[in-house]
Amino acid sequence: MIKMVVWDLDNTLWEGSVYYKDKEKVKLKEGSKEVLKELKKREIKNVVCSKNYFEDGEKKLKEFGLLEFFEDLKINWELKSKNVLELMEKFNVSKEEVLFVDDDAFQREEVSLIGVKSLYFEDPLDVLEVDGIKELLEEDRVRLLKEQREREKGEKEHKGDYKEFLKKCEMKMVIREVEDSDWERVVQLLNRTNELNATSNRYKLEELKESYEVNNDRVFVVELKDRFGEYGIIGEAIIDTMNEFWSIRDLTVSCRTMGRGIGGALVVGILKKGKEEKVSKVRGYVKETESNWRMKPLFEKRGFRKVGKKDGIHSYEFDFSEEVMGFPEYLGVEMK
């Protein structure tokens, strides 16, 4: 497995060179910050090996917000093979556990002579596809990162109203009952999501499935796709049905879809389902945390009235005396 990635800077992580007079025109490559973040998340060390003056390279790393991702900086005029050997010794990694990334074929060849795999990628995200790294990633992770990059690029380039941009994204959302193959993703959403998590409850897979089977919980999952690609499962809701009404015990949406109204659409979908099944009322809960402030208006904006607060948990209720609102016009929703 790869334990350390050694990065060149000029024309590898960014376009241009900080050594020349036009250093102010240097532009960060799309995907550079994302790949460094992914590697660090998986405890793969990022280090720099660049032929430059140290102060120039470090300054640009700070400017681009990349410095936090690196364990060490070898920015000097030494042979790159010498720098790489010193890094290997410092971090106690073998040549088989190192990947060297550089746009210069001469430098790649020089480092490869010490037995280190040396490659270059126009798209920095493609580093995640290298043997020894890709095994650590979830299936389709690289594709999802690239699709997200295209979405963000499209949003930045759009000059009109944000809702008009969302319409152009052609988003299709499916709300359906949980299936056996969904459980691991449901648990992952519940345990890893903070910002768009209504109650921040954490679960083990076994206890979640046991509650589902013993208490007849209703569990809905949300799938999403748009013109850029497919997200897979990006939301879930767990509903307690032990009483004559439904209680939305948990509701979580992936932060990758923030700002697209997915959580609100899921609440509307639950209300439509509840009305169809002649449920007397639906309750929802939001537990205040440091990071989930965006969830506070989730229920009130969909016609729920606030009925109480206890231990930092706000309670809301919808009794079907009001009409259930429709889905956002920019979002195509299918309920299964």
Please say if the pLDDT value at position 243 is more than 90. no
Rounded CA-CA distance 138/121 in Å is 21
Would the pTM of this model clear 0.75, i.e. be above it? Answer: no
- Contact yes or no for 7/13 (Cβ under 8 A): yes
More confident residue, 160 or 10: 10
| Domain segments of the chain as ranges | 4-137, 170-335
Triad 160, 64, 156: Cα angle to 5°:
10
Sheet with 246-253, edge to edge strand ranges? 305-310, 313-318, 282-287, 246-253, 229-240, 218-226, 171-177, 331-335
Please say if the pLDDT value at position 277 is more than 90. yes
**Which amino acid is it at 193?**
T
What is the number of other CB atoms lying within 10 angstroms of the CB of residue 233? 20
Rounded CA-CA distance 118/128 in Å is 14
- Contact yes or no for 222/212 (Cβ under 8 A): no
Please say if the pLDDT value at position 31 is more than 80. yes
Rounded CA-CA distance 18/62 in Å is 13
What's the average model confidence in pLDDT over 244-268? 92
Q: Which pair of structure tokens corresponds to residue 236? A: 């879930």
The CATH H-level superfamily of 4-137 is HAD superfamily/HAD-like (3.40.50.1000)
What's the average model confidence in pLDDT over 161-174? 84
The 8-class DSSP code of residue 325 comes to P
The helix/strand/coil state of 213 is helix
Q: pLDDT band at 196, cuts 50/70/90?
A: very high
What's the average model confidence in pLDDT over 43-50? 96
Please say if the pLDDT value at position 5 is more than 90. yes
User: What is the model's pLDDT at position 210?
Assistant: 92
Please say if the pLDDT value at position 151 is more than 70. no
Give the pLDDT confidence of 206-237 residue by residue, as tens digits. Answer: 999 999 999 989 999 999 998 877 888 999 99
Triad 123, 126, 132: Cα angle to 5°:
155
Give the pLDDT confidence of 107-121 residue by residue, as tens digits. Answer: 999 999 999 999 999
Please say if the pLDDT value at position 138 is more than 70. no
Q: pLDDT band at 205, cuts 50/70/90?
A: very high
What's the average model confidence in pLDDT over 82-100? 96
Please say if the pLDDT value at position 48 is more than 90. yes
User: What is the model's pLDDT at position 302?
Assistant: 96
Rounded CA-CA distance 65/68 in Å is 7
The 8-class DSSP code of residue 29 comes to P
Please say if the pLDDT value at position 150 is more than 80. no
CA distances from 158 to 227, 279, 324 (A): 15, 42, 32
What's the average model confidence in pLDDT over 132-155? 68
User: What is the model's pLDDT at position 42?
Assistant: 86
Q: pLDDT band at 183, cuts 50/70/90?
A: very high
Q: Which pair of structure tokens corresponds to residue 326? A: 């429709």
**Domain 170-335 is of which CATH architecture?**
3-Layer(aba) Sandwich (3.40)
| Residue positions counted in the chain | 336
- Contact yes or no for 11/32 (Cβ under 8 A): no
What's the average model confidence in pLDDT over 256-271? 92
CA distances from 53 to 70, 74, 90, 104, 172 (A): 17, 10, 22, 18, 50
Residue-averaged pLDDT of the chain: 90
